[in-house]
Structure 1
């Protein structure tokens, strides 16, 4: 029985490496070609299409896994901003700028449709926005005339509008980012 454990561990390690390679290839390829097929992703990951299907039952499942991975990375970067330190409005703008860097690094994010997991992915970011807004309101840096939930919803909606403007080419990505920062600053200032 103990002889089977190393074999199982080796198979598990191989499966983990395959999954990691598939996700990395999917991120890179989907950033360049948002409509890339599973066959193309398998080729880029140096695995068979069957291996992709063993880990991800459909393209949508793979796309959701990619989005989950990018969300995890983004949340780590957001938490590194130390949101409880320094002026809240400055931290909010840093958070927004970090989000734009994620869009620039992963253009896929500008082209992906809203999926079943979108709300769950947004929730941790929404919570961080709300926490910053509350802190800023207590410190007098952010307007108290508007409720936290409204301001949070407005920030998310403005971010989506700016992202859509960049994705459709109505605004250059940098212009959309700068315009978003200006709009948010004007909205939040007391």
Structure 2
């Protein structure tokens, strides 16, 4: 096989993989228990082609979650996180993530049930956590955010509060707007520096 043929084969495989993931998102967000055959039909490939890329349904679902996470991170990076007040940047980051994940409520409920190791879970959260930490550290340097608590702790609290807001919406106890307002208010109270007793 020539080098150009190998490049073409790799490009074809990448396109095939992307079309399968796009089809899986479309199909599973409507019917989370849809078969691999339904995904293959929507992607315009055979079931065997799907399994060639993703040997099990669990691996397909994990790849879908990684794909959506990459999409959300790209939206966050487009939100100009390094300019303006840190709290505004933090809210832009959260809104960018919500815009992405909010398009797939049924699918994300299914994906949240995936069993993953702590290491895999940490790696999946790392891109978002890194961006959160960058904003929080900037806010601590400018005096906007509490500098008596470690950035890692504040990142963990922010992620947990974000998950709690999503869970309240999924359970039907809050609307999306109510959860968003509650999240923003909670983050202001947790992160904001006490200007009456601030240590630069």
- Tell me the TM-score normalised to structure 2 length: 0.85
Instruction: Give the structure 2 partner of residue 30 of structure 1.
Output: 28
- Residue 50 of structure 1, CA deviation: 0.9
Instruction: Give the structure 2 partner of residue 112 of structure 1.
Output: 111
Q: Which runs of 5+ in 1 are unaligned?
A: none
Maintained 8 Å contact 1:110/1:164: no
- Residue 187 of structure 1, CA deviation: 1.5
1:4-56 CA deviation, whole Å, 9 max, x = no partner?
x6655554444333212111101111222222221211121121111110111
1:83 equivalent to 2:81? Answer yes
RMSD value, Cα: 1.9
Please identify, of 43-52 and 14-23, the stretch whose mean Cα deviation from structure 2 is larger.
14-23
Instruction: Give the structure 2 partner of residue 172 of structure 1.
Output: 175
Q: Which runs of 5+ in 2 are unaligned?
A: 194-200
1:62-104 CA deviation, whole Å, 9 max, x = no partner?
1111111111111111112222211111101111111211221
Assess, with a 3 A threshold, how the Cα gap between structure 1 residues 143 and 8 changes in structure 2: closer, same or farther.
Answer: closer
1:129-153 CA deviation, whole Å, 9 max, x = no partner?
1111111011011122322222111
Maintained 8 Å contact 1:84/1:132: yes
1:149 equivalent to 2:152? Answer yes
The whole-number CA distance in structure 2 between the counterparts of 1:102 and 1:34 is 18
Alignment size in residue pairs: 188
Maintained 8 Å contact 2:165/2:179: yes
**DSSP-derived class of the 1:101 partner:** helix
